[in-house]
Amino acid sequence: MRLPLYQVDAFSSKIFSGNPAAICPLERWLEDSLLQAIAEENNLSETAFFVAQPGGYQLRWFTPVGEVDLCGHATLAAAHVLMTELEFTQPEIVFSTRSGELTVTKSDTTFTMDFPVLKCESCEPPPLLIKGLGRQPQEVYRGDDYLVVFNDEQEVKSIEPDYACLIQLDARGVGVTARGTEADFVSRFFAPKHHINEDPVTGSWHCLLTPFWAQRLGKIRFRAQQLSRRGGELVCELVNDRVLLSGQCATFMKAEIYL
């Protein structure tokens, strides 16, 4: 059996930047153990699999170590593959996922995802968090991830995490953020528990950042930058209890998996 495989750089208009995701279209679902083995072999932060169903597609995301509930950049990449490589012609794609129905629309070269808002609450910073980031934060919040606020963009850029500390924390990952100089806000995201020390661009993380900064800045539409080595840019908009995340994609590779 041969399976098609695409590698797409999401949240970027050119290859070698943004966040790479592997996209594997399927005619039917394979065993979970095989899906996980493919994701481990790809060794990217996410491998997405989709299967057609009435009215849309079922979509699942796997890191090298397990399935996750929500992934932004691999959803964007999956829509890109369908609309630019597989000639999907409808104006909107509906994905059925573990986080409910997610829609993606395309305008020119930009894809827009409709995702649920993620919430967080203020908390005391655990000692391991401060040690892992190497500095005292301005504020700390906790949702599925830790949201850690610093004074300015330069402080976010200069963090050199101790991943041995961060991996011990009781959250999916740790994100740091501050007001930006060229963007409304900037961030970085660390997820050593998922074998991703620093994620290049994290869509789901911006479902937490967007309502957070909306409350701080008194507006609902933002230009965001993720300051990883590869870098990435997003446009984020808060609409009631949803977050619209927009970005571009570039296809890096087309291949086949031999099973």
Residue 258: Cβ within 10 Å count? 7
By the 8 A CB rule, do 213 and 30 touch? no
Q: Is 46 a catalytic residue?
A: yes
DSSP calls for 54-98: TTEEEEEEE-SS-EES--HHHHHHHHHIIIIIS---SSEEEEEET
The distance in angstroms from the start CA to the end CA of the chain is: 5
Tokens of 141: 């919040």
Residue 50: Cβ within 10 Å count? 26
Among 40, 46, 124, 233, the one annotated catalytic: 46
CA separation for the pair 18, 83 (Å, rounded): 19
* Amino acid residing at 139: E
CA separation for the pair 8, 5 (Å, rounded): 10
The b/e string for 1-17 (b: 16+ C-beta within 10 A; e otherwise) is eebebbbbbbbbeeeeb
Nearest to 188 by CA among 229, 228, 159, 158: 228
The catalytic site residues sit at: 46
